[in-house]
Structure 1
Amino acid sequence: MSQAKVFGIHAAQAALDYSADKIKRAWVDHQRQDKRLMPLLEALNKYQIPVVKADRKKLDGLAEGKNHQGIILDIQLPGVRTEADLKSAVQSLDTPAFFLVLDQVQDPHNLGACLRTADAVGADGIIIPKDNSVGITSTVCKVASGAAETVPVYQVVNLARTLRWLKQQQIWIFGSSGDSEQSVFAADLTLPLALIMGTEGTGMRQLTARQCDFRVKIPMQGTVESLNVSVAAGIMMYEVRRQRGM
């Protein structure tokens, strides 16, 4: 597993809540004694995490000029899981499967936001291809606000092959496509399923789209042609949750 720096009050709190054992050390602004930072310092001491007192210039350099709010953590990033892990997870499920598949999504903010929503709706995990996709990075973890620790991310070598295997396990594959005639709100999403989201603009690759059992769209009333992939995924994942009464 690789290490990275996570910074900011909210991101630091999430790391302490969900992965305190992964934090190797912390840098803290020695001049700050405010109410937002003090609970974090107490938690760092509780978990016996080494704390380095630093000035703002040092922190600015470590955060590469980004807003660190007086705290930076050196943290071991969660690792992505393998195809073998995915197969074990699928075969051990005792409820209808619910996976999110991101086909070549490269923006870490989108993956982080998808992780956060996947955690909220109780999805079983996110599946990504090995090539041309963002993995777990410090930015992903910051945006995910702890969900990178709770939602498994499965990285597969051949996405089409993995989708075919999922279908053999009686999991329905449905994809998001703006040219579909069926609304996501009219589809039966109580089935065991894997939802595929493609990149914004180009959508799913043809090879991936061919694996879909059916495709759905989000009805659009305004003038915009598409939604950000994490926004669209969030709408669809919550529709799954609504239909299943979760």
Structure 2
Amino acid sequence: MEELYVVGRNPVLELLKTEKQIDKIYILKGDLKGSIKKIIGVAKDKGIIIQEVDKRKLDEISEGEVHQGVAAFVTGFEYSTLEDILKKAESLNEAPFVVILDEIEDPHNLGAIIRTCECAGVHGVIIPKRRSARVNQTVYKASAGAVNHVLVSNVTNISNTIETLKEKGLWIYGADLKGENYYYNESLKGAIGLVIGNEGKGISRLVSEKCDVLIKIPMFGNVSSLNASTSAAILIYEVVRQKDEKKKS
């Protein structure tokens, strides 16, 4: 596991709700009001070292991210396995719903997608080990701490992982402008794997060929595509809508 800093008040508060190992929390000198006071109280209850530092130290730690006067130093993010994700769905007695990210490179996008996944009850997120953003302090910040509550698996080969998921009974949908159907005309019920492609290139050819169905979002403006995290949110919540519709029927 890599060492990293989690910065920002909400991400640190969410981190403190978990059992993850926090080595130290840095607090801006003199800033002991509001949610900072709550962070200090929880950290003390957990026996975590708290150190007051100047703004320059926090600016250095945060590497350009907005730290809001607090940063937590943690041993690192622990990735889950594909089996962990499927077991989570089984434990909830739910059909598996996973989001597969094909070379998402922007950590802000990764964080935003993970945040949506957590809110929507997605069982896990799958990313490749190479040519992809990894979970770092930017992802923690962009996810508003949601990364602490989502299983993220980093795999060697996305195409092979899709094959494994298909063997487990999942139907794989890829988001692609060349898709056969608009997403709202497709049945997105049951065990689902949703593939979101790279910010610029979209889904790679090999991954696209592994998908069962390619679906698209209608575009009526002059800009030809949506941000990856926006596309992911639209499609993820369509799955949620159809799942809820099925429960009511």
TM-score (structure 2 length as normaliser): 0.90
Alignment of 1:1-246 (within 5 A): 1-17=1-17, 19=18, 21-64=20-63, 66-83=65-82, 85=84, 94-245=93-244
- Separation in structure 2 between the aligned mates of residue 168 and residue 93 of structure 1, nearest angstrom: 20
RMSD (Å), alpha carbons: 2.1
Q: Secondary structure at the match of 1:37?
A: helix
Task: Tell me the SS of whatever aligns to 1:101.
Answer: strand
The change in CA–CA distance for 1:218 and 1:37 in structure 2 (over 3 A counts) is same
**Residue 5 of structure 1 contacts residue 138 of structure 1 at CA under 8 Å; is this kept in 2?**
yes
Match of 1:36, SS state, is helix
Q: Secondary structure at the match of 1:72?
A: strand
Which residues of structure 2 form unaligned runs of 5+? none
Residue aligned with 2:35, SS? coil
Q: Aligned equivalents of 2:10 and 2:163: distance in 1? A: 40
Deviations 1:35-90 (A, max 9, x none): 23222222221222111122223333333454322212112332122355456567
Q: Deviations over 1:127-186 (max 9, x none)?
A: 112221122111111211222121111122122112112112221111011122411011
- Aligned counterparts of 1:75 and 1:199: Cα–Cα separation in 2: 29
Q: 1-side partners of 2:187 and 2:34: how far apart? A: 48
- After TM superposition, give the deviation of residue 225 of structure 1 in Å: 0.6
Letter in 2 for 1:26: I
Q: Which amino acid aligns with 2:2?
A: S
Distance 1:43 1:189 in 2: 41
Distance 1:54 1:89, change over 3 A: closer
Distance change in 2, residues 1:111/1:66 (3 Å): closer
Aligned residues: 245
Q: Secondary structure at the match of 1:226?
A: coil
Is there any run of 5+ residues in structure 1 with no aligned partner, and where?
A: none
Q: Which moved more, 1:68-77 or 1:226-235?
A: 68-77
Task: Give the secondary structure class of the aligned counterpart of 1:194.
Answer: strand
Q: CA separation in 1, counterparts of 2:150 and 2:66?
A: 26
Given that 2:7 and 2:137 are in contact with CA atoms closer than 8 Å, whether structure 1 keeps it comes out as no
Aligned mates of 1:223, 1:215 — CA distance in 2: 22
Give distance in 1, aligned partners of 2:130 and 2:54: 40
* Distance (whole Å) between structure 2 residues aligned to residue 112 and residue 148 of structure 1: 7
Contact map agreement 1:79 1:136 (CA 8 A) in 2? no
Normalising by structure 1, we get a TM-score of 0.91
Deviation at 1:242, TM superposition (A): 0.5
Contact 2:89–2:95 at 8 Å: present in 1 too? no
Task: State the alpha-carbon separation in 1 of the partners of residues 165 and 201 from structure 2.
Answer: 24
